[in-house]
Homo-oligomer: A and B are copies of this chain.
Amino acid sequence: MKNLSDQEIEKQLADLEGWEYENFALETTFEFKNFKEAFSVMTRIAFECEALNHHPDWSNVYNTLHIRLSTHDTNGVTEKDFKLAHRIEEIIVSE
């Protein structure tokens, strides 16, 4: 697994909604109706992370969820991050 180039990252970001490349990571923030909705989505995401064996840096305050995806082993963004980002997008869209 190797880091993607900036060019490759920009290209792949075009297929995602509301994600940005910041500080060598893919970042996004979601807002939900309330804490229960936010944590329900986090739980669905958690199962995907475990299945992919790839985990986010994420934080939650009430109805807000901030997610940061990067690959710690390579200290950059890899295909693993985009794979997880797409899984997260599928979960969000299905809510």
Q: Which A residues lie at the B interface, using CB under 8 A?
A: 35-36, 39, 42-43, 46, 49-50, 55-62
Q: Taking the full assembly, how many copies of this chain does it contain?
A: 2
- By the criterion CB–CB under 8 Å, are B58 and A59 in contact? yes
> When the two chains form the complex, which single residue of B39, B50, B56, B62 contacts A36, counting CB atoms closer than 8 Å?
B50
Instruction: Kindly list chain B residues whose C-beta atoms are within 8 Å of the C-beta of A61.
Output: 55-58
**Nearest chain B residue, comparing its CB with the CB of A66:** B59
A52 nearest CB across to chain B (Å)? 11
A74 nearest CB across to chain B (Å)? 16
Give the distance in Å from the alpha carbon of A55 to the alpha carbon of B50 in the complex.
Answer: 25
A6 nearest CB across to chain B (Å)? 24
